[in-house]
Amino acid sequence: MSQMTFTSALALRRIERIQYLLRREYLTAPEIADGVYMSAIRAREYIRYLLKTKQIHVYRWEKRWTAGRAHWIAIYAWGNATSPKKPKSGETDAERFRRRYRERKKEDPEWHMTMLAKLRAKRMKPKADPLTAWIPRA
């Protein structure tokens, strides 16, 4: 699909439709795909082409949350302007936990040793003593 030349009559009509939509309002990639009646994957190819030829630009980045993690979604606008840089994604819950654990480990090594002992105790299974195995349990 990356071999598209965007010179066919259908491709040019779709580009005109994208231009019409983006002149009316700022849209995300899925909204552009819905407005042009094509799949999101194919719409991204058109967006990539229009960005490369500087016919559209990223107007702003919007934060959306999915499964406890922030994702930055591009909002596109028609015209040649400078696009803002994509902000860095926030850390996940697991990354936040690991960072706090490392900080606490540096602050209090004894706490870390206690945590390791608790983990070892969870893994250990009590074993029956073979010398007292003949005694019935009440």
Task: Identify whether the C-beta of residue 46 lies closer than 8 Å to the C-beta of residue 15.
Answer: yes
- Closest by CA to 15, choosing from 70, 65, 58, 55, is 55
State pLDDT tens for residues 12-36: 999 999 999 999 999 999 999 999 9
Radius of gyration of the chain from Cα atoms?
A: 29
Distance between start and end Cα atoms, the chain: 74
State pLDDT tens for residues 68-114: 677 889 999 999 999 899 888 777 788 889 999 999 999 999 999 99
